[in-house]
Structure 1
């Protein structure tokens, strides 16, 4: 099975998350997309201190009507920071026969050098890098940390890098939806509508559980 991996704090999950997952699933011919909420994000503070249980429940509600999308609580089942390399290692143990496609944004691709054990990411999974329309990645090899560039070959016609492990890094322009979790949290705290920015089931969950209403840190 070809399995897409989409991680994030999902605080809350919104329509842009779902759309990029759908586009990658279709573009790469994936069988399923696995949503992986972070338990303890290593690179940023979790705004509002929203518990993992709530963020996981919102993801589950958002994808309930799509059999190609699945949520996992894997990162909450282990101690420590939610490092992507550890998550991918555990996924290899849980799904030993599957091929993984790790989905990240161009901003994350540019900062891979600060990720824990980042060279190993390319051994554990193919990477799918989503860029905003109109912002082309002219030289993707040059954006990688210098210490690992010699591990790749660039196929210009396919706009793809191939790692020495055989895994690939593929780039595509997403249908960019200017929606952010920060924006949604701010709107809720201001008593404004969040309708159509996220699935109705997630909107109902937020109001039913009183999330973000007193959130002063967006």
Structure 2
């Protein structure tokens, strides 16, 4: 028909789905079974695409923790997560060096990965300290906090926390370092390939 106009249908805007990724930070000195179970349980409970174990370079604590060289902690993490496709490593704080403030780290990660929603995992014993965290109100805009329930610690908090039940394990890196220094068995507390690496490199023989 003369003079008719062709009407073009506007295609609907298709946006890529956002990625959902967990972050479990720590010194991992050394990484042990409780770290790995926590990361795996939270990742599966929330249906996350990945859970990244993020070793800190220098925790911003008053009682600064001494750790072994970062390359050893990173290598042990690589060995520990090698057989679990859900788990991976985020080395950003080791690359940045200096004190590791969570706000600064997550701001950088969000800038690098604007298509990702981050779920930051903390123990239930840490929730009461959130008001003291550096720029906590701004940090709350960057991440979703996931709390792992701990006995005798309250779950009431003014901050929005996603609570997850994870089997309780009284396992700590400090006690494991002492066991290694004393020549005690740490079988099943750590992945076997991590134990092999510690023995091969002669780590923690001084208990530190």
TM range (shorter): 0.7 to 0.9
1:137 corresponding residue in structure 2? 154
Which residue of structure 1 lines up, in the alignment, with residue 116 of structure 2?
A: 98
Alignment of 1:198 onto 2:190:
yes
Check the 8 A contact 2:127/2:157 in 1, yes or no: no
Deviation at 1:136, TM superposition (A): 6.2
Residue 76 (structure 2) aligns with: 58
Give the direction of change, closer, same or farther, for the CA distance of 1:214–1:75 in structure 2 (3 Å limit). same
2:38 paired residue number: 20
Uncovered stretches (5+) of structure 1, i.e. residues with no partner: 145-160, 162-168
- CA displacement 1:155-175 (0-9 Å, x = unmatched): xxxxxx3xxxxxxx2112221
Secondary structure, aligned partner of 2:125:
helix
- The answer to whether residue 119 in structure 2 is matched with residue 127 in structure 1 is no
Equivalent pairs counted in the alignment come to: 189
CA distance in 2, matches of 1:201, 1:94: 32
TM-score scaled by length of structure 1:
0.82
Going from structure 1 to structure 2, the CA distance change for 1:138 and 1:88 (only over 3 Å counts) comes to closer
Q: Distance in 2 between matches of 1:175 and 1:62?
A: 19
The reply to whether residue 45 of structure 1 matches residue 64 of structure 2 is yes
SS at match of 2:96: coil
Counting helix residues as a fraction of each chain, which structure ranks higher?
1
What is the TM-score normalised by the length of structure 2? Answer: 0.86
**Runs of 4+ off more than 2 Å:** 44-47, 134-141
Output one character per residue of 1:52-105: Cα deviation in whole Å (capped at 9) or x when no partner.
111111111100111111112110111420111111111112221011100001
SS of the equivalent of 1:123 reads coil
